[in-house]
A and B are shown apart, each in its own frame.
Chain A
Amino acid sequence: MNPLELTLGIMTAVGGFVDISELVFAAKAGSIFGYALIWVFALSTGGIMVFGEMSGRVAAVAKQPVFNLMRHRLGLKLGLITLFASLIANLITCAAEVGGVALILRYLTGAPYALMAVVGTAILMASMWVLPFKWIERTYGLLGLFMIAFIAALVAIHAPWGKIAGGFVPQIPHGLSTKELLVFAYFAVAIVSAVMFPYEAYFYSSGGIEEEWGPKDLPMNKITCTVGFGLGSLLSIAILASSAQLFGPANVGPELLGSSALEVAIPFGWVGLLIALLGMLFAISGAAIETCMANAYSISQFFGWEWGRHRKPWDAPRFTVTWIVLFLAALAIILTGVDPMQLVEYAVLFSILVLPLTYLPLLLLAGDKSYMKEHANGRFAKSLGWFYFALITLAALGALPLYFLTSGGQG
C-alpha cells in the first residue's frame, strides 16, 4: 500500500463527501432540532461505509463494476427497472447539484443565476472532457477540503462539545408535538437518503475499475471507506452543529444554500465567507460530476458499451455522448426555473425510494462466492449489510407519507 496514494485517497474521500443535499439538510436540521439529529448522520455514514466498501471490493475482486454484474444477477427486466429508477434519482440529484453550483457562482460574482448555470455546466463539462478520471476525482476532492473551514468555524465559536457528543447517542427530543415528531422523522429519513445517495456506490465501484484495482487494493478500499467517509461525515456534522449554535437560538431558518456559508463568515469575516463558498463550490461541483458520471457508467455498463474516463473521450464514444447529454438534461431542468432547493427535496425523496433497489443487488453480489471467492461477505459484513438494508427499506417506506404529512419538512 503506497502511503501517498492512501493519504490522497482518504483526503479525496473527505473532500468529496459533502454535496448540496447534506449541506441543506445539515443546516436545517441543526437550526430546528439542535444536536438531536447528529446520530442519524453518524448512523447513515456507517451505511455508506458498509456499502461503499462492498462496491469497491466487488470491483477489485470480480473486476467488473456493479451494474454489469447487477444485470447478470437481476436479469434484463428487473435490471432495466433498477437502471431506470436510479437514472431518474441521479438525474434529479445532478440537476440539484448544477443548480447549487449556479447559486454559489451567483453569490461570488453577482451575475444572473441562469447565466451562471450555463457557465458552471460548461466548466464542469470541459473539466470532464480534458481531465482523466484520477485527476477529476483528485481535483474536486482535494479542492473540496476548503470545507474544513466549517470545522475550524465550529472550534472558533466555542461549540458546546458536550452537547455535540451527546448528539451521537440515538435520541428523539422530548416534548415534541405529533407534528414536530413527524418533521423530525422526515429529517431523519432525508439525512439517511442524502448520506447514502445511490450514485455514490456506482461511482465508487466504477472508479475502482477506472483505477484498475485488484485484490491487493482491498486494504486501501477498506481504509478509504471507513476513515475517508468517516472524516467527511464530520464536515456535515460540523455544519449541523454550527447551525444549532448560531441559527437555532436566533430562530433563523437556513432556507438558502448561502446561509450555510454564514457559519464560517460569523467567526472569520469575509475571508471565511470566501473560503466557505469556495469549499461549497468545489464540493458541489464534484458531486455534480459524480452524479453525471454515475448515470453514464450505469447506462454504458448495462448495455455493454465502452466506458470510463481513463480512456480518451473518443475511445468510449457512447459513454462520452451519454454524459454530455445527461449534463445538458440537468442544465435544461435548471433552466426551466425550478428552485434548486426544491430539487434537493425531490432528489432526497426519490433517492430513498430507489435506495433498497440499488443496494440489494450489491449486497447479494458481495456475498456471492462464485464472483467473490474468499473475499465474499463474512458474517460481520453480512450482518451489517442486512441491518442497513432493513434501515433503508424502513426509511423508503416512510419517506412518501412523511413528505406529504409534513409538506416536505415544513411542518
Chain B
Amino acid sequence: MTPSDPLKVISQLLDLPLIDCNGNYCGIVDDVAFTGGAGKEARLEALLVGPGAYRGRMPRWAMWLVRTVAGDRLTRVPMAKIKSIGSAVELNTAAEKLGLHAVENRVRRHIPRVGAM
C-alpha cells in the first residue's frame, strides 16, 4: 500500500512500527494529525510519534506515569515521508533527519564500544 491509497486510519496505521530508509526501527505510530476542521475536508497531515502522543489514548493517571517515566516528547512525521504501509510503516528518510532517534542516540553515547562480536 502507498500513502495515496485509501486508508482505514485506526486499523491500518495506528500502532504500527516505523522503519526508516536504512531499515532501522524508529518508533511507533502513536497517533495521527489531520488538517481541516468542521465542514472542511480533513487531510491526514502527519504521524505523531513519542509518549506525548499518548494523551487522549490513556487514562489521566496512566498519562502522568508515562510523563514521569518517559517524558512527553512528540515528533511529527509528515505524510510525504512515508514510502509504504504494510505490517510496518516504511519511511523514505533517515530517522535522524526526522528527529526520531534522539533518545536512541543519547543512550548510545553511554554504551562502551568494546568486546562485542
B24 in the interface (beta carbon within 8 A): yes
B57 in the interface (beta carbon within 8 A): yes
Q: A352-385, CB under 8 A of B: which get 1 and which 0?
A: 0000000000000000000100000000000000
Chain A residue at smallest Cβ distance from B108: A317
**Contacts A130-B116, A303-B28 given: A318-B17 contact, CB under 8 Å?**
no
Give chain B interface residues in 59-117, CB to chain A under 8 Å: 62, 87-88, 103-105, 107-108, 110-113, 115-117
Cβ-defined partner of A312 (8 Å) among B49, B57, B116: B116
> Do residues B103 and A68 form an inter-chain contact, with CB atoms below 8 A?
no
> Do residues A313 and B116 form an inter-chain contact, with CB atoms below 8 A?
yes
Q: How far is the CA of A68 from the CA of B27 in the complex (A)?
A: 11
B45 in the interface (beta carbon within 8 A): no
**Chain B positions within 8 Å of A79 at CB level:** 15
Cβ-defined partner of A130 (8 Å) among B15, B54, B58, B115: B115
A387 in the interface (beta carbon within 8 A): no
Closest Cβ of chain A to B54, distance in Å, is 7
A-B interface pairs (CB < 8 A), number: 81
**Chain B positions within 8 Å of A57 at CB level:** none
Q: How far is the CA of A135 from the CA of B15 in the complex (A)?
A: 32
> Do residues A129 and B17 form an inter-chain contact, with CB atoms below 8 A?
no
Chain A residue at smallest Cβ distance from B57: A76
Contact size class for B? Answer: 20 to 34
Give chain A interface residues in 115-143, CB to chain B under 8 Å: 129-132, 135
Chain A contacts to B: CB under 8 angstroms: 62-64, 68-69, 71-72, 75-77, 79-80, 129-132, 135, 300-307, 312-315, 317-318, 320-321, 371
Chain B contacts to A: CB under 8 angstroms: 14-18, 24-28, 30, 49, 54, 57-58, 62, 87-88, 103-105, 107-108, 110-113, 115-117
Q: Which of B16, B27, B111 has the most CB of A within 10 A?
A: B111
Q: How far is the CA of A76 from the CA of B28 in the complex (A)?
A: 11
Q: How far is the CA of A371 from the CA of B26 in the complex (A)?
A: 21
The 3 A-B pairs at the shortest CB distance, nearest first, are namely A304-B28, A317-B107, A317-B108
- 13 pairs from A and B in contact (CB 8 Å cutoff): A62-B87, A63-B87, A68-B87, A69-B87, A71-B28, A75-B15, A76-B30, A135-B117, A303-B28, A304-B17, A304-B28, A304-B49, A320-B111
> Do residues A304 and B108 form an inter-chain contact, with CB atoms below 8 A?
no
Cβ-defined partner of B115 (8 Å) among A71, A72, A129, A303: A129
Cβ-defined partner of B27 (8 Å) among A76, A80, A304, A371: A304
Cβ-defined partner of B25 (8 Å) among A130, A307, A313: A307
**Contacts A64-B17, A76-B57, A77-B58 given: A314-B25 contact, CB under 8 Å?**
no
Closest Cβ of chain B to A193, distance in Å, is 29
Closest Cβ of chain B to A41, distance in Å, is 35
**Chain A positions within 8 Å of B111 at CB level:** 313-314, 317, 320-321
**Contacts A63-B87, A64-B87, A312-B116 given: A306-B15 contact, CB under 8 Å?**
no
